[in-house]
Amino acid sequence: MTDVRTDDHRPRKRVFIRTYGCQMNVYDSDRMADVLRPLGYGLAASADDADLVVLNTCHIREHASEKVYSELGRLRDAKSERRAAGGDLTIAVAGCVAQAEGEEIVKRQPAVDIVVGPQAYHRLPELLAEAERKAAIGRAGKRLPGAGVLDTDFPADSKFDHLPAPQGIRAGSAFLSIQEGCDKFCTFCVVPYTRGAEYSRPAAAVLAEARQLAAAGAVELTLLGQNVNAYHGEAADAAGAWSLARLVRAIADIAGIARIRYTTSHPRDMDDDLVAAHGSVPQLMPYLHLPVQSGSDRILEAMNRRHGRDLFLRLVDRLRAARPDLALSSDFIVGFPGETDADFDDTMRLVAEVGFAQAYSFKYSRRPGTPGAALDGQVPEAVKSARLAALQALLGQQARAFNESKAGLTVPVLFAETGRKPGQVVGKTPWLQSVHADGPERLIGRIVETRLVTGHANSLTGEIVTRSLEAAA
Ligand code: 5AD
Ligand code: SF4
């Protein structure tokens, strides 16, 4: 969970945006802030000093959506207190819970003023105006014409056509959304329902935004999409349709862009050209998040992943042939319906065979409306917990070993923020590991040569090479 908060000046109104879930949501929260800025909304540091609170929600697992309802309970209390004191608090629910549950949210928590799906953020100004009108009617003692203002349509055109230019460069790094939605329909996943059909932004628009971000000081771009390597921007010239590989090469040609990353990928969409780009484009960082979910052919089939264990293992070989130091990350689900001990062993064997630099792993969470929720053979909670613990122990060992294997190297680190200890800065290696080093704040947003000294479970300790300190003076 991340909170968008900064404040340079005191605008007329303040919004606090709380972001749950994936990087797509982090990006969308920045875009909502961009939409609200012209209405006079600055960013508040917390809900306590906000006029408007937006919860940008995640629906991917059950506990993610339950957290939203408990937060809404707290906000309802805050709203009542404000009203008792003659003020008000506007509450908006955005993101995938908004999309999936729509009016249910207002029924369950009537204090909510606005429910807005991920495709409709450009309509926030209108929704706010309507919510304010309804609140005024309510204050005048008249019956409310239905609480809550709802927009969860999937419009024919893209929200990108309506949103203002992005401003979200953080310490030299920016997200660039190039693709949304998903047509894969994995049987456990809500994304095709909450984010809609797969859509690729035209390459010309993506490249224009990349140039704008570079001119504004971005040195690292992370290309975002729910299924980013399915990217197929419309044909812009004689060379035909744009693939992700072609887009990566074009972005690498933009002056100032030193690092390119992309996330999240599907193994089925890693074409030869993209694999080759990992070897031939130096700006493409040697890190790839490639969810596999399971190592069992039977479970992969039941998940509708459209590939087997062997395709994944061969793909890893091809990627490593192109880029031998590639760090691999993945997502895993344990306890999918019907998963036996033997299936789980297949997952453990796949992990042992590949060796991941880091990974995310989850217990299967039954999501209403997905085909998986209706399957027989739901796995008991205790079995899921035991499998998750075993998998995480192995993944944890691998992550530590990967970090330790980099000790002794001197590598470029992009510093992103100050550390917990005074005088410390924290940045990322090319393999997306966190590095803590003693150094001045002026290094934030810069790529600086750093000697990696010690690898830990989740990070490394480093020392900034003296000559890069001098160059940054
Ligand atoms: N249960 C558990 N994990 C899930 N994920 C998606 N849906 C579910 C679910 N129903 C995980 C997948 C995906 C990641 C973003 O979240 O591993 O890759
Ligand atoms: Fe969900 Fe599967 Fe699409 Fe990923 S590829 S967003 S897991 S449906």
List residues bridging with 306 in a β-sheet: none
- Tens-digit pLDDT profile for residues 26-71: 999 999 999 999 999 999 999 999 999 999 999 999 888 889 999 9
326 and 240 housed in the same domain: yes
340 and 429 housed in the same domain: no
CATH classification of the domain holding 428: 2.40.50.140
In a domain, 107, yes or no: yes
* Average pLDDT score over the chain: 91
Q: Is the CB of 364 under 6 A from ligand 1?
A: yes
144 and 164 housed in the same domain: no
- Tens-digit pLDDT profile for residues 124-133: 999 999 998 8
Predicted local distance difference test score (pLDDT) of residue 402: 98
Name the pLDDT band for 209 (thresholds 50, 70, 90): very high
List residues bridging with 149 in a β-sheet: 114
Instruction: Choose one of 368, 387, 405: the last residue of a domain.
Output: 405
d(C-alpha 316, C-alpha 175), whole Å? 26
The average pLDDT across 313-322 equals 98
CATH classification of the domain holding 181: 3.80.30.20
- Tens-digit pLDDT profile for residues 124-163: 999 999 998 887 776 666 544 444 677 777 666 666 666 6
Q: Which one of the ligands is nearest to 372 CA? A: 1
Percent of the chain with pLDDT over 90: 82
In a domain, 6, yes or no: no
pLDDT exceeds 70 at position 461: yes
CATH classification of the domain holding 50: 3.40.50.12160
Q: How far is ligand 1, taken at its centre, from the CA of residue 210, in Å? A: 30
Domain that holds residue 414: 410-471
135 and 250 housed in the same domain: no
Name the pLDDT band for 166 (thresholds 50, 70, 90): low
**Nearest alpha carbon to residue 329 among 304, 357, 351, 309:** 357
40 and 165 housed in the same domain: no
* Residue with CA closest to ligand 2 atom 5: 184
pLDDT exceeds 80 at position 110: yes
Q: Is the CB of 16 under 6 A from ligand 1?
A: no
- Tens-digit pLDDT profile for residues 398-429: 999 999 999 999 999 999 999 999 999 999 99
Q: Is the CB of 336 under 6 A from ligand 1?
A: no
437 and 328 housed in the same domain: no
Length, in residues, of the chain: 473
110 and 248 housed in the same domain: no
Predicted local distance difference test score (pLDDT) of residue 452: 98
Predicted local distance difference test score (pLDDT) of residue 1: 57
Instruction: Choose one of 124, 151, 178: the last residue of a domain.
Output: 151
pLDDT exceeds 60 at position 236: no
In a domain, 136, yes or no: yes
Q: Is the CB of 188 under 6 A from ligand 1?
A: yes
Q: Is the CB of 189 under 6 A from ligand 2?
A: yes
- Ligand 2 pocket check: which of 61, 180, 191 to mutate, most ligand atoms within 8 Å of Cβ? 191
Q: Is the CB of 225 under 6 A from ligand 2?
A: no
Q: How far is ligand 2, taken at its centre, from the CA of residue 181, in Å? A: 9
In a domain, 7, yes or no: no
143 and 164 housed in the same domain: no
Name the pLDDT band for 215 (thresholds 50, 70, 90): very high
How much is the pTM?
0.89
Give residues with Cβ within 8 angstroms of 337, minimum separation 6: 302, 364, 372, 375, 376, 377, 378, 379
274 and 177 housed in the same domain: yes
Q: Is the CB of 367 under 6 A from ligand 1?
A: yes
In a domain, 222, yes or no: yes
216 and 315 housed in the same domain: yes
Q: How many domains does the chain have?
A: 3
Q: Is the CB of 360 under 6 A from ligand 2?
A: no
205 and 63 housed in the same domain: no
Predicted local distance difference test score (pLDDT) of residue 144: 44
Backbone angles phi, psi at 406, to 5 degrees: -95, -10
* Residue with CA closest to ligand 2 atom 2: 186
In a domain, 256, yes or no: yes
In a domain, 5, yes or no: no
In a domain, 287, yes or no: yes
127 and 181 housed in the same domain: no
Do 200 and 231 form a contact (C-beta atoms < 8 A)? yes
Q: How far is ligand 1, taken at its centre, from the CA of residue 463, in Å? A: 37
The average pLDDT across 448-452 equals 97
Rounded to 10 degrees, what is the CA torsion of 199, 267, 220, 404? 160
Predicted local distance difference test score (pLDDT) of residue 158: 64
Q: How far is ligand 1, taken at its centre, from the CA of residue 189, in Å? A: 6
Instruction: Choose one of 405, 427, 461: the last residue of a domain.
Output: 405
